[in-house]
Amino acid sequence: MLLQDKSTAIEHVETILKFKPHHAQALLIRGDIYRDSGDYERATQAYSEALKSTRFHAPIYGRLADSFKAQGKPTEAIQYYEKVVKSNPGEARAHLELGKLYSDEGRYLNSLKSLTTSIRLNPSVGEAYYFLAFVQKELGNRHEAIRNFEKFLSIEPSGTEAETVRDEIYFLKNGSNAN
pLDDT reported for residue 4? 58
Mean pLDDT of 21-37: 81
- Min mean pLDDT across 1-15, 63-77, 107-121, 131-145 is at 1-15
Tell me where in the chain the CATH 1.25.40.10 domain(s) lie: 1-88, 108-179
Question: What are 153-160's contacts with CB under 8 Å, separation 24+?
Answer: 155/124, 155/125, 155/126, 155/129, 156/126, 159/126
| CATH, domain range 1-88 | 1.25.40.10
- The CA-based angle 151-155-158, given to 5 degrees, is 110
pLDDT reported for residue 6? 66
Domain 108-179: CATH architecture, name and number where available:
Alpha Horseshoe (1.25)
pLDDT reported for residue 176? 61
Predicted TM-score (pTM) of the model is 0.83
pLDDT reported for residue 9? 72
Q: How confident is the model at residue 1 (pLDDT cuts 50, 70, 90)?
A: very low
Q: Radius of gyration over alpha carbons of the chain, in Å?
A: 20
Whether 79 contacts 55, CB under 8 Å: no
